Amino acid sequence: MDGNRFIGAGGVSFFQVMPTYHNPSGNKAYIMNMYTDPEYRRKGIAIRVLDRLVKDSKRRGITAISLEATDMGRPLYEKYGFVAMDHEMELPVP
């Protein structure tokens, strides 16, 4: 926030899928609704929001995090370590 003005936000949804070899718990996180006010873009806001969402997911024991990326957001997610899938990007979480 800048005063009373929101400058960036993001959300994460936690859910379960069938367990797999790579995700034995079946617990996953889906990052969504990432937004940075245009006046504040390219100032590190989005990476800080993303980092908080990923850290919260890891604290909950999540080992699979995915998202859908816009063309504008894709470089941020790739820089963070997300890899392209067919329709989503996924972050391999150790």
pLDDT for residue 1 = 64
Q: What is the pLDDT of residues 4-59, one digit of tens each?
A: 888 999 999 999 999 988 888 999 999 999 999 999 999 999 999 999 999 999 99
Task: Determine the Cα–Cα distance for residues 1 and 24; give it in Å rounded to an integer.
Answer: 38
Strands 83-84 and 89-92: antiparallel
Query: Residue 85's pLDDT band (boundaries 50, 70, 90)?
Result: confident
Map out the domains of the chain with their CATH numbers: 8-92 (3.40.630.30)
pLDDT for residue 92 = 80
Please name every residue paired with 5 in a beta bridge, in sequence order, or none if there are none: 2
Q: What is the pLDDT of residues 62-76, one digit of tens each?
A: 989 999 999 999 999
DSSP 65: E
